[in-house]
């Protein structure tokens, strides 16, 4: 599709005019009658119809009387009522719904009666009770009395489709919304219509459960390596769209009723997509999260992680009051003023700002906000570091990072506003994925790409074709980790890939993992220049883009300004009304941690950082540093080492803004009002105690400053990286190149306390090519992997069609904590031995 064709269709929309219940309505050609009726405010009852799914006509609840012009133009009625959810509107059509046609009304009541024949009517015990379309429409469009006196069909209930999703087949009205979602949207075949006639049911593919009595299950379920039937990352959406209580979630089972719940709109804190969610809470406790409808971002879908992983914020280790380390070396609860005074005193000494001779010994403070911060928090952290502590040692990238990435973010991401959007991804003729797994690392990005399967060519630079990429019909550009830069350089003019990327609207998606591949991001910029493809940087964590925008990187000031540029520093200093900003180049997160561990830093301010996510030894750094201030939601490993712990609010309990990967501001308000305060407010207190007014006390304050600063003007912007691609180290002997990425559902800190969700995660395995497996001599189907750190990872092997000399393991799945156990980033060599 070219942009000119796009414009043409946008200008001329062919319309048809029809009459519904005596009201004339003009709609674009191809509109379904049920949608046309919606436009004039006529509600036709329905179950199977869903605006984002293809028409099915499965439930027959939307029957209406239709008359349409025949060939001679005489308007003639259809002999029987028609399903308005499958019939498109045509010119001159006359539609009479249940409001004006007795026949349509009778037909709908008949269908409703039929649907209720086998429905157990166990509304009092059903989770859907109170918000159930079947319940509502049975009241509004059904008979008050049942004529059915026979025995209802019974099934065993509930049937667990996964640890999270429960199926009650008795309640099902066979609308097929769930199976259509699974096939059309998520691409995971884990349930389907089974059997026929009166015994027709939604089911898994397990014969034992279904007891088919002669019938074979239709289709096969995808299985993961353990033989466990595949659980979808998006299965929670089927619960939300189920128009009856047939699909329910284990986490919300029997927890509450809709009238108990207060619903607050919000933004998911789990990934960089910024999916719109609805948080339902009761008495200050979050009971469930649902997808909100945001057509430009997540449509009506969210991942299971967005939906189910919210227990982390209210676990028993939640911090409520500040903690201060006492004389006895233990942490004791303290008042906010005491804790702030203590933290400020410690930081003042560590930063060398006491005005005493002791200042000469002070070595400075490093700031690690963590990648889960909001835009406002990130801004406060970096301003606190630069103004109150006088250092550029601030880095929100607590993952594999590099200076090249910083230059890339500064030159091409931060302060560039809305770039490639979800809509652009959907329309792109070609999408090249580099260092990015759409399903595991992208969340709803995957669903947008999947929407265009068949209309879009997806290429992926990866060691093997993952299941997510397979579902996108992606073609693999097989590359060992570390070789991505070379793979991008190899896309020379004249090759098929280059031609595909030269098409109008082509997009190259760059994952955060490219940071550790020297030259990859520089090469991507060159490729974009060569082919005209647009770049989209999609990190994993929700706060990454916001941190880049806010300047919470050592060499980056707000708006993409270069901290090394004097003009940029002066401009920011002027906006902040301070004399000057620190000139000395800052250290990145790994540098800060290494310096702290070596005793080259006197203090650390740590936000939401999990030590086990880092290859650098944060534990050693925390122990070696004199004074540590931790801003945390829960009592974590970091807070155990801290001298002062300031409790901060989780996302539900504070307002803020996430900047999603598109560069779209995703603001959210407080869902549950508590006394908990945001990081930026705590830092504002700290700043005041240190004698600086940071003006970051409220979201409005921060946004005002961000608005004043704006994006960097040309002269103050960072220069694009020009790093040359390095040749990856060759794999020899039992030394293999490590490939790894985070699974969507794994043991990340924000998924704590949710066993049902954890049960849907993929089983951790090590992947090797057949050739490599033979070479290292895999015994008992198990390998032991060791790296720079002291730990080891033992996993069962799955021989996969993939690059030779590479071993793939999940980054933080059960039994496979790569950063902690191996201490290396993907792309480096690890030792792999067969057997345990």
Partner 1 sequence: MSEHDDVWKVNRERDGEAQRFESNFPEYGPIAKTFAPVAGFGVTLRNFFRPTVTEQYPDEKTPAMPRYHGRHQLNRYADGLEKCIGCELCAWACPADAIYVEADSNTEDAQYSPGERYGRVYQINYLRCIFCGLCIEACPTRALTMTNEYELAGPTREGLIYEKQDLLAPMEDGMLAAPHPMVPGTVDDDYYKGDVTQVVQEQTAWVRERRPDDPTLPENRSAEDDASSRPAQQSPDAALSGPAGPVGGRTRG
Binding site for partner 1 (CB under 8 A): 122-125, 129-130, 154, 157-158, 253-257, 259-260
Q: Which of 78/148 has CB closer to partner 1? A: 148
Strand order in the sheet with 262-267: 262-267, 276-282, 285-291
Spatial CA neighbour of 814 closest among 791, 787, 794: 794
CB of 120 to partner 1, least distance (A): 9
Q: Which tokens belong to 628?
A: 């540590």
Q: Going by C-beta distance under 8 Å and a sequence separation of 6 or more, which residues neighbour residue 755?
A: 163
Cβ nearer to partner 1, comparing 158 with 761: 158
Complex with partner 1: residue 153 or 157, whichever CB lies closer: 157
Give every CB contact of residue 337 below 8 A, 6+ residues apart in sequence.
none
Q: Which is nearer to partner 1, 168 or 701 (CB)?
A: 168
| Torsional sign, CA 30, 32, 38, 42 | positive
Q: Return the number of other C-beta atoms located less than 10 Å from residue 403's C-beta.
A: 16
In angstroms, give the least distance from the CB of 123 to partner 1. Answer: 8
Q: Quote the least distance from Cβ 253 to partner 1, whole Å.
A: 6
Least distance CB 162 / partner 1 (angstroms):
17
Residue 77: its H or E element: strand 75-77
> Six-digit token pair at 180?
């259509």
> Minimum distance between the CB of residue 200 and partner 1, rounded to whole angstroms?
23
Contact of 380 with 696, CB cutoff 8 Å: yes
What whole-number distance in Å separates Cα of residue 692 and Cα of residue 670?
27
3-state secondary structure 451-495: HCECCEEEEEEECECCHHHHHCCCEEEECCCCCHHHHHHCCCCCC
- From the CB of 127, what's the least distance to partner 1, in Å? 9
In whole angstroms, what is the distance from residue 628 CA to residue 20 CA? 69
- 171 or 587: whose CB is closer to partner 1? 171
Measured from the CB atom, is 43 or 136 closer to partner 1? 136
Of 673, 665, 664, 613, nearest to 637 (Cα)?
A: 613
* Of 124 and 355, CB closest to partner 1: 124
| DSSP one-letter string for 516-551 | GSTTHHHHHHHHHHHH-PEEEEE-SSTTHHHHHHHT
User: Least CB distance from residue 264 to partner 1, whole Å?
Assistant: 20
Q: How far is CA 831 from the centre of its chain?
A: 32
Q: In the complex, what is the shortest distance from the CB of residue 24 to partner 1, in angstroms, rounded to a whole number?
A: 42
CB of 128 to partner 1, least distance (A): 12
258 versus 599: smaller Cβ distance to partner 1: 258
The nearer residue to partner 1, 152 or 492, going by C-beta atoms, is 152
Query: With respect to partner 1, which residue has the nearer C-beta, 419 or 753?
Result: 753
- How many Cβ atoms are within 10 Å of 512's Cβ, its own excluded? 25
Choice between 158 and 482, CB closer to partner 1? 158
- For the bound state, the minimum distance from the C-beta of residue 306 to partner 1, rounded and expressed in Å, comes to 24
Instruction: Name the minimum Å distance from CB 257 to partner 1.
Output: 5
Residue with Cβ nearer partner 1 (58 or 251): 251
Toward partner 1, which CB reaches closer, 55 or 120?
120
Nearest approach, Cβ of 130 to partner 1 (angstroms)? 7
Instruction: Establish how many alpha carbons lie within 13 A of residue 502's alpha carbon, considering only the half-sphere containing its beta carbon.
Output: 11
Choice between 39 and 146, CB closer to partner 1: 146
Q: For partner 1, which is the closer residue by CB, 98 or 162?
A: 162
Phi and psi of 702, rounded to 5°?
-65, -45
In whole angstroms, what separates CA 443 from the centre of its chain?
4
Cβ distance to partner 1 smaller for residue 157 or 530: 157
Report CA-CA distances (Å) from 797 to 250, 457, 811: 31, 31, 15
Q: Which is nearer to partner 1, 55 or 129 (CB)?
A: 129
- Phi (first) and psi of residue 447, to 5 degrees: -65, -35
On the 0-12 / 13-18 / 19+ scale of CB atoms within 10 A, 475 is middle
HEC secondary structure over 91-118: CCCEEECCCCCHHHHHHHHHHHHHHHHC
Burial degree of 269 (CB within 10 A; 0-12, 13-18, 19+): buried
Residue 256 vs 831, nearer CB to partner 1: 256
Contact 737, 807 (CB under 8 A): yes
Instruction: Provide the minimum distance between the beta carbon of 360 and partner 1 in the complex, in angstroms, as a whole number.
Output: 56
Residues 6+ apart with CB under 8 A from 262: 280, 281, 282
φ, ψ of residue 640 to 5 degrees: the values are -65, -30
Indicate the SS3 state at residue 823: coil
* Shortest distance, position 258 Cβ to partner 1, whole Å: 10
Question: How far apart are the C-alpha atoms of 488 and 504, rounded to whole Å?
Answer: 19
CB of 160 to partner 1, least distance (A): 12
Q: How far is CA 558 from CA 388, 409, 581, in A?
A: 16, 12, 13
What residues form DSSP beta bridges with 294? 299
Q: Strands, DSSP E only, in 276-320? A: 276-282, 285-291
> Least distance (Å) from partner 1 to the CB of residue 29?
46
Minimum separation from the CB atom of position 124 to partner 1 (A): 3
- Helix and strand numbers, DSSP H then E, in the chain: 27, 37
* Tokens (6 digits) for 33: 């009658």
The structure tokens listed for 455 are 């209309």
Q: How far is the CB of 259 from partner 1 (least distance, A)?
A: 6
Q: Which tokens is 167 given?
A: 């199926």
Maximum CA extent, the chain? 101
């Amino acid at each position: 599709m070219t942009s000119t064709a796009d414009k043409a269709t946008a200008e001329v929309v062919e319309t048809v005019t029809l009459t519904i219940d005596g009201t004339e309505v003009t709609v674009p050609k191809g509109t379904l009658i049920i949608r046309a009726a919606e436009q004039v405010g006529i509600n036709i009852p329905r179950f199977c119809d869903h605006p984002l799914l293809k028409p099915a006509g499965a439930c027959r609840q939307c029957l209406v009387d239709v008359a349409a012009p025949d060939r001679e133009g005489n308007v003639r009625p259809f002999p029987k009522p028609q399903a308005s959810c499958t019939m498109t509107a045509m010119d001159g059509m006359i539609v009479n719904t249940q409001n004006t046609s007795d026949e349509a009304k009778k037909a709908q009541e008949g269908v409703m009666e039929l649907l209720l024949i086998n429905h157990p009517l166990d509304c009092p015990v059903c989770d859907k009770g109170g918000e159930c379309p079947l319940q509502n429409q049975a009241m509004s469009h059904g008979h008050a009395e049942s004529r059915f006196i026979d025995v209802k069909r019974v099934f065993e209930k509930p049937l667990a489709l996964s640890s999270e999703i429960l199926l009650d087949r008795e309640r099902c009205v066979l609308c097929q919304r769930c199976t259509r979602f699974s096939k059309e949207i998520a691409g995971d075949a884990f349930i389907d219509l089974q059997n026929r006639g009166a015994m027709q049911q939604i089911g898994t593919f397990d014969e034992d459960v279904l007891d088919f009595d002669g019938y074979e299950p239709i289709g096969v379920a995808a299985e993961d390596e353990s033989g466990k039937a595949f659980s979808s990352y998006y299965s929670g959406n089927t619960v939300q769209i189920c128009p009856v209580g047939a699909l329910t979630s284990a986490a919300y089972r029997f927890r509450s009723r809709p009238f108990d719940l207060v619903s607050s709109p919000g933004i998911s804190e789990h990934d960089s997509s910024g999916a719109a969610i609805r948080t339902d809470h009761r008495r200050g406790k979050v009971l469930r999260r649902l997808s909100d409808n945001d057509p430009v971002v997540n449509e009506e879908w969210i991942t299971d992680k967005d939906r189910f992983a919210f227990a982390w914020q209210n676990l028993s280790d939640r911090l409520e009051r500040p903690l201060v380390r006492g004389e006895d070396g233990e942490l004791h609860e303290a008042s906010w003023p005491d804790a702030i005074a203590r933290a400020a005193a410690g930081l003042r000494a560590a930063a060398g700002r006491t005005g005493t001779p002791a200042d000469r010994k002070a070595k400075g403070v490093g700031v690690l906000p963590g990648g889960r911060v909001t835009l406002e928090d990130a801004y406060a952290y970096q301003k606190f570091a630069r103004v109150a502590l006088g250092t550029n040692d601030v880095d929100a990238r607590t993952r594999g990072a590099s200076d090249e990435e910083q230059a890339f973010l500064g030159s091409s991401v931060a302060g560039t506003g809305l770039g490639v959007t979800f809509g652009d991804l959907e329309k792109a003729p070609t999408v090249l994925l580099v260092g990015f797994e759409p399903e595991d690392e992208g969340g709803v990005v995957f669903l947008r790409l999947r929407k265009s399967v068949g209309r879009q060519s997806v290429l992926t630079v990866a060691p093997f074709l993952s299941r997510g990429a397979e579902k996108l019909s992606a073609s693999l550009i097989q590359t060992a980790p570390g070789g991505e830069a070379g793979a991008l350089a190899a896309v020379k003019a004249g090759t098929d890939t280059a031609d595909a990327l030269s098409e109008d609207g082509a997009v190259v998606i760059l994952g955060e993992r490219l940071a550790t591949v020297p030259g990859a991001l520089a090469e991507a910029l060159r490729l974009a220049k060569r082919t005209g493809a647009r770049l989209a940087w999609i990190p994993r964590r929700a706060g990454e883009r916001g941190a880049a925008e806010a300047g919470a990187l050592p060499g980056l000031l707000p708006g993409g300004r270069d901290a090394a540029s004097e003009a940029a520093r002066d401009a920011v200093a002027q906006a902040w009304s301070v004399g000057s900003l620190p000139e000395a180049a800052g250290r990145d997160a790994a540098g800060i941690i290494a310096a702290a561990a070596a005793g080259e830093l006197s203090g650390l301010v740590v936000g939401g950082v999990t030590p086990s996510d880092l290859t650098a030894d944060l534990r050693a750094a925390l122990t070696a540093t004199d004074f540590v201030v931790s801003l945390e939601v829960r009592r974590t490993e970091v807070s155990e080492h801290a001298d002062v712990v300031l409790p901060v609010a989780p996302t539900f309990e504070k307002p803020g803004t996430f900047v999603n990967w598109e560069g779209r501001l995703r603001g959210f308000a407080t869902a549950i009002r508590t006394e908990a305060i945001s990081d930026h407010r705590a830092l504002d207190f700290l700043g005041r105690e240190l004698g600086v007014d940071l003006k970051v006390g409220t979201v409005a304050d921060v946004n005002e400053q961000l608005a004043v600063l704006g994006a960097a003007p040309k002269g103050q912007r960072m220069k694009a990286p020009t790093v040359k691609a390095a040749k990856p180290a060759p794999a020899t002997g039992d030394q293999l190149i490590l490939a790894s990425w985070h699974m969507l559902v794994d043991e990340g800190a924000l998924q704590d306390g949710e066993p049902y969700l954890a049960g849907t995660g993929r089983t951790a395995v090590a992947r090797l090519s057949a050739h490599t497996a033979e070479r290292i001599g895999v015994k008992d189907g198990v390998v032991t992997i060791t790296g720079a750190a002291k730990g080891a990872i033992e996993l069962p092997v799955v021989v996969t069609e993939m690059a030779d000399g590479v071993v793939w393991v999940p980054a933080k799945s059960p039994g496979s904590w790569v950063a902690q156990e191996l201490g290396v980033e993907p792309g480096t060599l690890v030792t792999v031995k067969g057997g345990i």
